[in-house]
Amino acid sequence: MKKFSKLHQQIFSITTALALLTILIISVCIASLLYTQGIDNAESVLRNKNRSVNALIEGYVAPLRKAVEYTGSSASGVDHSRFQEPETQTKIQSLYKILQNTIPNIHYIFSGYEDGSLLINNYTPPSDYNAVERPWYQAAIKSNPMISDGVPYQDINSKKWLVSFGKTLINPEGKVVGVISIDAGMDAIVEALAVEDEKYPTIYNFVMNTEGKILIHPNETLPDTLHREIISHIPNEMNASGSLSYQDGDQKKLAHYNRIDKLGWIVVTEVNLTDIREPIVKTITTTLLTIVLGSLLTTWLMSYILSRHLIVPLKKLQHRVQEITEGKDSQGKYVFPNNEIGKISEAIEKLTEKALFQKNIELKDKNLLLSSISHTDQLTAIANRRKMMEVLQKEVSNYQKTRQPFCVLMFDIDHFKRVNDTYGHEVGDQVLVKLAKVVKATIRNTDTIGRWGGEEFVIVCPHTYQQVALSMASNIFSAIHKHTFPMDIDVTVSLGLSEFNDHHSLESILVEIDKKMYLAKQNGRNRIQP
Ligand SMILES: Nc1nc2c(ncn2[C@@H]2O[C@H](COP(=O)(O)OP(=O)(O)OP(=O)(O)O)[C@@H](O)[C@H]2O)c(=O)[nH]1
């Protein structure tokens, strides 16, 4: 048998499946959108941080570089080619003092000369000191005529991080006579690099040179180490900047870099990718959960509303049709909606009622037939004994109410056995049929004749006194006598007759006329016994 499935369950599963499919598609779209947006946001944070550090560095080193340029130029009013003259030395030292006082970030300002001498305030170099051999001197010579790259280093005495900028000192003939160098404290830069971010705890900035050597890093143990992995991703273009991601040990990193080529520095701001992914995953999870819950709630609500508007009326219709088929009256308890379902319901209701009405008619006809069959004697087509009992009961009850007279006649064919024996049972049947017909034609419409059993008949005559009944009986006798029966058989009957009176009951009058009929037999048959 085909499995029965409930409509509301079907609606629920279809809408849920559709909702889940929609949720899945929306989730994938939203997840990828949020992920891209998250990465973009993180890149923008990295870019902004990187820019602010760059701006700080640029702002920080600009006056230092200017000071270096100024000291080495003729505008300073100092001729460094005369560095050996005490007057010039005094001039230079006083210029250094002025600059140191003007630019607080200057930690040291000094110059070294081709003879190995050093000019500096408040410091006496050791006797074997040779300025020409110092790294800052050589760095300036190397980048001549430009200012040397900012070379960070840690001061041996103060342990402070300093950065050194140097530039060659040229005499009017264009010959290098020495190098001016400024060392500046980098506290502000180191501090700016170490600025943390609440959203991305692993974010940090560092500075490396164009070979990938780390120059300044919040983790002080790192400077001087090489960062080959990241440098391989940075293009070798002047002042380039951009985003990149790379693998650093077991960590995947996202970074923004900016080359400051005039310093030979690359400022990198980087963060662990897990730091970015975590908030993105959190946002995605919360958003998707909200969407999933919202969608499921909407789906369930939709399925509930659909159920109310579609399934409830259909269920009502199902009950109504069942009630109609069971013949129950709905008593107006079913109200159908004013839509297609309502129209269909009305049509089905009418159709069912019509079909039922038709069935009822058929049933009535059948009942009538059944009733007629159950009240008719099959051979003679007159009333049978059951029907006669009903007629008698009705007359008795009528008499008891109205005292209206009525008579009962009972007759039996004389020597009928002989008819059967002589002519056969079939002829006997024909005689019975004919006799019934003859007697029926004789009596009044208001009288009822019935076959009581075998060859015995009963006639009930309403509103009839005994005298009238007697005359009816003699009419019957003469009609039988006159009638020609099959095989010319001479049919006679013996008849008992009584008028119902106050002493009678249904049973007693029947016993009485039965007795009278047999009395007629005993008295020679073919006679009426009143
Ligand atoms: N052909 C036919 N015979 C029937 C039917 N019903 C009863 N009989 C017969 O009627 C006969 C009645 O016989 P009995 O009771 O001896 O009475 P009888 O021969 O009429 O004699 P009396 O009544 O004493 O005059 C029997 O032979 C029954 O078989 C019937 O429906 N058809």
Instruction: Tell me: pLDDT of 3 over 70.
Output: no
Please tell me whether residues 362 and 405 are part of one structural domain.
no
434 lines ligand 1 (CB under 6 A): no
Looking at the fold, whether 46 and 135 belong to one and the same domain comes out as yes
**CB contact set of 273 (below 8 Å; sequence gap of 6+):** 245, 251, 252, 253, 254
Q: What is the pLDDT of residue 439?
A: 97
* Paired residues of 408 in beta bridges: 460, 498
Q: What is the CATH number of the domain that holds 489?
A: 3.30.70.270
Q: Is the CB of 454 under 6 A from ligand 1?
A: yes
Closest residue CA from atom 18 of ligand 1: 415
CB 263 within 8 A of CB 150: yes
Q: How far is the CA of 413 from the centre of ligand 1 (A)?
A: 8
Give the residue from 60, 80, 84 showing the smallest Cα distance to 72.
80
413 lines ligand 1 (CB under 6 A): yes
Cα 423 to averaged position of ligand 1 atoms, centre (Å) = 13
Per residue in 112-168, pLDDT (tens digit) is 999 999 999 888 888 889 999 988 899 899 988 899 888 777 777 777 778 888 999
Rounded to the nearest angstrom, the distance between the alpha carbon of 492 and the centre of ligand 1 is 13
* Residue 455 CA from chain centroid, whole number: 84
Q: Are 452 and 380 in contact (CB under 8 A)?
A: no
Cβ(14)–Cβ(321) under 8 Å?
no
Contacts of 19 (CB under 8 A, 6+ apart): 295, 296, 298, 299
Model pLDDT for residues 337-358, shown as the tens digit of each residue: 777 777 877 787 777 778 777 8
428 lines ligand 1 (CB under 6 A): yes
Per mean pLDDT, which of 294-303, 345-354, 396-405 is the most reliable?
Answer: 396-405
User: Are residues 244 and 346 located together in one domain of the fold?
Assistant: no
Q: What is the mean pLDDT of residues 332-338?
A: 72
pLDDT per position as a tens digit, 438-470: 999 999 999 999 999 999 999 999 999 999 999
Looking at mean pLDDT, say which of 4-13, 127-136, 472-481 comes out highest.
472-481
The mean pLDDT value for 72-80 works out to 85
CB-CB contact of 470 with 528 (8 Å): yes
Protein residue closest via CA to atom 15 of ligand 1: 417
User: 390 lies in which domain range?
Assistant: 376-529
Residue among 58, 54, 65 nearest 193 (CA): 54
pLDDT tens digits, 207-264: 888 888 888 877 665 566 677 778 888 888 888 999 998 888 888 989 999 998 888 8
Whether 123 is in a domain gets the answer: yes
Does 207 share its domain with 90? yes
Same domain for 472 and 392? yes
Domain assignment present for residue 327? The answer is no
* Per-residue confidence band for 504, with pLDDT thresholds at 50, 70 and 90: very high
Average confidence score pLDDT of the chain: 88
Name the more confident of 356 and 183.
Answer: 183
Verify that 307 and 344 share a domain, yes or no: no
Q: Mark whether 232 and 132 lie in a shared domain.
A: yes
Residue 2, pLDDT above cutoff 60? no
> In a mutational test of the pocket of ligand 1, which residue from 413, 416, 422, 487 has the highest number of ligand atoms less than 8 Å from its CB?
416
Phi-psi region of 501 (alpha: psi -120 to 50; beta: other; left: phi over 0): beta
The two three-digit tokens of residue 264, written as one number: 């030979």
Task: Kindly state the helix (H) or strand (E) to which residue 113 belongs, with its residue range.
Answer: strand 106-113
- Closest among 329, 292, 331, 336 to 314, alpha carbons compared: 336
Buried b / exposed e over 382-412, threshold 16 CB at 10 Å, is: bbbeebbbebbeebbeebeeeeebbbbbbbb
Q: Please report whether residue 325 resides in a domain.
A: no
Whether 43 and 166 share a structural domain = yes
More confident residue, 281 or 349: 281
* Rounded Cα gap, residues 127 and 110, in angstroms: 17
364 and 381 co-located in one domain? no
Give the Cβ contact number of residue 337 at 10 Å: 15
Percent of the chain whose pLDDT exceeds 90: 45
**Can you tell me which atom of ligand 1 is nearest the CA of 379?**
31
Q: Name every residue whose Cβ is closer than 8 Å to that of residue 370 and which is 6 or more positions away in sequence.
A: none
Q: What's this model's pTM, rounded to 2 decimal places?
A: 0.54
Question: Is there a single domain that holds both residue 346 and residue 279?
Answer: no
For the Cβ of 377 lying below 6 angstroms from any atom of ligand 1, the answer is: no
Is the shortest distance between the CB of 435 and ligand 1 below 6 Å? Answer: no
Distance between CA atoms of 225 and 263, rounded to whole angstroms? 19
CA of 375 relative to ligand 1 center, distance in Å: 22
Assess if residue 394 is contained within a domain: yes
CA 490 to ligand 1 center in whole angstroms: 15
- Is the pLDDT score of 5 beyond 80? no
Which residue's structure tokens are 């008698």? 392
Check if the beta carbon of residue 284 is closer than 8 Å to that of residue 34: yes
Task: Determine whether the shortest distance from the Cβ of 138 to ligand 1 is under 6 A.
Answer: no
Instruction: Compute, in angstroms, the gap from residue 522 CA to the centroid of ligand 1.
Output: 16
Based on the fold, state whether residues 273 and 354 are members of the same structural domain.
Answer: no
Among candidates 195, 193, 191, 203, which has minimal Cα distance to 42?
203
Question: Which atom of ligand 1 lies nearest, measured to the CA of 412?
Answer: 23
pLDDT, tens digit, for every residue of 40-63? 988 999 999 999 989 988 888 888
For 41, 191, 201, 284, the CA distances from 36, given in Å and listed in that order, are 9, 31, 20, 11
Q: How far is the CA of 425 from the centre of ligand 1 (A)?
A: 10
pLDDT for 481 equals 96
Per the CB < 8 A criterion, the answer to whether 266 and 259 are in contact is yes
Q: How far is the CA of 421 from the centre of ligand 1 (A)?
A: 10
Report the CATH number that the domain containing residue 108 is assigned in CATH: 3.30.450.20
- Look at the chain and report how many structural domains it folds into: 3
Nearest Cα residue to atom 30 of ligand 1: 454
Residues 280 and 396 in one domain: no
pLDDT at 223: 61
Most confident region among 218-222, 289-293, 335-339, 376-380 by mean pLDDT = 376-380
The length of the chain, given as a count of residues: 530
